[in-house]
Amino acid sequence: MTALPAPRTRRGAALLIALGTLTALGAVSVTAYTLARSENRAGQAALARVQGLGAAESALAEALGGWQASRTPTGIGEEVELARVALPGNASGVATVRNLGGPVYLLRGEGARRDRDGNAIGFAAIELLVLLDSAGPDSMVKPRKYPRGWRILP
């Protein structure tokens, strides 16, 4: 008697399992790449915003040092640029003062981080209420920060 050949039901099963495994690994790889790319972009955007904030703070700090009395805006709502700074990494900031009426003024610092084409990729703004006293003997106006909290404006 001759032996019967073994049934061929498992033929190609290894190939099917290998293709399924490769497909699953490919899907995991694509997902990991996509997540890494989006995390990188989010990190770069956060860095650009922090650089813009640093530029805004730098411009505001320069303005808080004082300015010539002749540069103070006189009309209510009038706004004047006080300082402009440029920082490494293509970040720049500008500080302005706006007359809100009476001795109360608004100091605003804006900073931006720009890409090579000049488009803003990170932006930040800081605003402070300040009180202006009369100019000193050197005709420099020194602003005082208005205290935070609920107070009646003078």
The DSSP-derived string for 25-90 is: HHHHHHHHHHHHHHHHHHHHHHHHHHHHHHHHHHHHHHHHT-EEGGGS--STT-EEEEEEEEETTT
> What whole-number distance in Å separates Cα of residue 119 and Cα of residue 101?
35
Please state the rounded mean pLDDT for residues 10-20. Answer: 82
Please state the rounded mean pLDDT for residues 47-72. Answer: 91
Say how many C-beta atoms besides its own lie within 10 A of residue 142's C-beta: 15
Please indicate, yes or no, if residue 6 is contained in any of the structural domains: no
Pick the more confident residue, 5 or 106: 106
- Structural domain count of the chain: 1
- Indicate the residue type of 2: T
pLDDT at 108 over 80: yes
Please indicate, yes or no, if residue 134 is contained in any of the structural domains: yes
Burial of 90 (0-12, 13-18, 19+ CB in 10 A): middle
- Can you give the residue range of the structural domain that contains 45? 16-145
Mean pLDDT value across the chain? 87
Please indicate, yes or no, if residue 10 is contained in any of the structural domains: no
**CATH number of the domain encompassing residue 71:** 3.30.1300
Please state the rounded mean pLDDT for residues 101-110. Answer: 91
Report angle CA 142, 67, 61 to the nearest 5 degrees: 75
Position 101 scores a pLDDT of 85
Pick the more confident residue, 92 or 12: 92
Position 29 scores a pLDDT of 96
> What whole-number distance in Å separates Cα of residue 145 and Cα of residue 64?
9
Q: 62-66, 132-136, 137-141: lowest mean pLDDT where? A: 132-136
